Amino acid sequence: MGAKMEADMRKDIFDHLQKLPFSYYDNTNTGKLMSRIVTDLFDISELAHHGPEDLFISILKLTGSFIILLNINVRITVILLLFTFVMLYFSYSYNRRMRGVFKSNREKIANVNAQIQDSLSGIRVVKSFANEDIESLKFAQGNIEFLKTKEDSYFIMGRFFSGNNFFQGILYLSVILSGGIFISLGSLNISDLVVYILYINIFLNPIDKLVNFTEQFQRGITGFERFLEVMNTEPDIEDRENSVEIRNIKGDIEFKDVSFSYNDKHNILSNINIKLPAGKTTAIVGPSGSGKSTFCSLIPRFYEINDGSIAIDGIDIRDIRLKSLRNSIGIVQQDVYMFSGSIKENIAYGKPDATDKEIFEAANKANIHEFIMSLYDGYDTYVGERGVKLSGGQKQRISIARVFLKNPPILILDEATSALDNESEKFIQKSLEKLARNRTTLVIAHRLSTIRSADEIIVITDEGIKEKGTHDELISKNGVYAYLHNMQFKDI
């Protein structure tokens, strides 16, 4: 039962994490989350299957033996009870300290996990800077801090257990002493004292168990508290009660007075009014950091806007069921995430129930089919963690194939070709154009050559939307766009 509870909780916390928004992950470390999911829950099953049983049996034995002891001799039992209360108080005061160190144990091991995660996922950078020693040093620091809290916890546990043993000894001694005195006074006979002392063992045995239980409980409960911390984090972007499914949409997108800031400090975007007409390609241009990617992430509701509204086909996106909203939007970004697995699995991520034929077709449209066929294992080739075995262009084309397979009415291309060389960019540009056909498309590209044919170009700067129009209109206007354009082409 305990193991099942642990597994259930692990599933709950994982499912909950899947629901938490980008903003949560912006401020949370993956390694620390791993620690919460894996390590923190280890002690729960121990507590769950030993705890109730230990508690029940101990309480039964304690009250039973107490009644018997009381029947044998009231006065000695009162003395016994007195010492038991002292022991209880002692345990109680150590409990809080134990909870403190166990909690810090967990935090420190989470730091160690975070360090490992960070260092190993950046292993290529580590090696390229030959910084292995620095990483080892950083790791050692975290590891030593963990060791220190471990030492603290063993120290406190040691005092707790030896303290309890000491009181048990005192208890014995006081019973023998007071028994001896009562015998010499003639108010107790020897056989009663012998029986009494034999029964004390039955009384002390559950106390031992309870002491052990205390430690187990504190271990389990600190993990449980950390579990609750995550579970109580509300996913702030959730479906409203009357949210609707959208199907077969045209793909008209409208921003009305949209303002957005990441952490209420200053607005990244203010009072944006834009229409992205269905089936057309709109390009966004602007200096780095002006909020282009931010703009794109508002449409699939990765972040919630502070003011105004965004509507698709006239329906406010906050009234659309999140799943169906995101199913209608395809995104191709500069850095592509590949899941470790085969190429086929990675393409099929766009549509998990896709047939082989559909996957091949999508790969064909993305100009990657031939390359895949030339590989030793074809579509079953393992791409390596994060797709390390593929080149940037190949990864990008796989991510395009994914979106072909998903076939969404709305398409967002956020610097999709920026990381590529001119040659592969040209190659990919063709498949992107194919992908954009008949979809509402939003393109961000810093190479302005790639957006020349857009139906409308919008220029955003820190001050908001500066200009909009077609390429020719903006060039003849001789404003920001013309300036950016001339900058890029004057050297060539």
Q: Where on the chain is the footprint of ligand ADP (CB under 6 A)?
A: 26, 262, 268, 286, 288-294
Q: What is the 3-state secondary structure (H, E, C) of 158-194?
A: HHHHHHHHHHHHHHHHHHHHHHHHHHHCCCCCHHHHH
Check: CB of residue 163 under 8 Å from CB of residue 89.
Answer: no
Q: Which residue is nearest to Mg ion (CB)?
A: 293
DSSP result, 328-353: TEEEEESSPP--SSBHHHHHHTTSTT
Q: Pick what 271 binds: Mg ion, ligand ADP, none; C-beta below 5 to 8 Å, kind-dependent.
A: none
Check: CB of residue 256 under 8 Å from CB of residue 309.
Answer: yes
Q: Pick what 294 binds: ligand ADP, Mg ion, none; C-beta below 5 to 8 Å, kind-dependent.
A: ligand ADP
Q: How far is the CB of 485 from ligand ADP (least distance, A)?
A: 17
Q: How far apart are CA 117 and CA 113, in angstroms?
A: 6
Q: Which is nearer to ligand ADP, 286 or 330 (CB)?
A: 286
Is 459 in a helix, a strand, or coil?
A: strand
Check: CB of residue 409 under 8 Å from CB of residue 442.
Answer: no
Nearest CA among 419, 411, 489, 487 for reference residue 454: 411
Q: Pick what 291 binds: ligand ADP, Mg ion, none; C-beta below 5 to 8 Å, kind-dependent.
A: ligand ADP
Q: How far is the CB of 272 from ligand ADP (least distance, A)?
A: 13
Q: How far is the CB of 23 from ligand ADP (least distance, A)?
A: 7
* Residue ranges that bind Mg ion, judged by CB under 5 A: 293
Q: Pick what 364 binds: Mg ion, ligand ADP, none; C-beta below 5 to 8 Å, kind-dependent.
A: none
Q: Pick what 290 binds: ligand ADP, Mg ion, none; C-beta below 5 to 8 Å, kind-dependent.
A: ligand ADP
Q: Which is nearer to Mg ion, 175 or 296 (CB)?
A: 296
Q: How far is the CB of 220 from ligand ADP (least distance, A)?
A: 35
Nearest CA among 254, 242, 237, 239 for reference residue 20: 237
Report residue 278: phi and psi, to 5°. Answer: -60, 135
Q: How far is the CB of 287 from ligand ADP (least distance, A)?
A: 7
Q: Pick what 378 binds: Mg ion, ligand ADP, none; C-beta below 5 to 8 Å, kind-dependent.
A: none
Q: Which is nearer to ligand ADP, 293 or 407 (CB)?
A: 293
Q: Which is nearer to Mg ion, 216 or 293 (CB)?
A: 293
Q: Pick what 223 binds: ligand ADP, Mg ion, none; C-beta below 5 to 8 Å, kind-dependent.
A: none
Q: Which is nearer to Mg ion, 253 or 460 (CB)?
A: 460
Characterize the bridge pairing of strands 440-444 and 281-285.
parallel
Q: How far is the CB of 262 from Mg ion (least distance, A)?
A: 14
Q: Pick what 350 binds: ligand ADP, Mg ion, none; C-beta below 5 to 8 Å, kind-dependent.
A: none
Q: Which is nearer to Mg ion, 175 or 298 (CB)?
A: 298
Q: How far is the CB of 159 from ligand ADP (least distance, A)?
A: 46
Q: How far is the CB of 286 from ligand ADP (least distance, A)?
A: 6
Q: Which is nearer to Mg ion, 214 or 293 (CB)?
A: 293
Q: Which is nearer to ligand ADP, 85 or 337 (CB)?
A: 337
Q: Pick what 206 binds: ligand ADP, Mg ion, none; C-beta below 5 to 8 Å, kind-dependent.
A: none
Long-range contact list for 345-354, CB < 8 A, 24+ apart?
Answer: 346/383, 346/387, 346/398, 346/402, 347/398, 347/401, 347/402, 347/405, 348/405, 349/402, 350/401, 350/402, 350/403, 350/404, 350/405, 350/406, 351/405, 351/406, 351/407, 354/405
Cα 220 from chain centroid (whole Å): 21
Q: How far apart are CA 56 and CA 60, in angstroms?
A: 6
Q: How far is the CB of 215 from ligand ADP (least distance, A)?
A: 42
Q: Which is nearer to ligand ADP, 107 or 462 (CB)?
A: 462
Cα 381 from chain centroid (whole Å): 29
204: Cβ–Cβ under 8 A, 6 or more apart, which residues? Answer: 168, 171
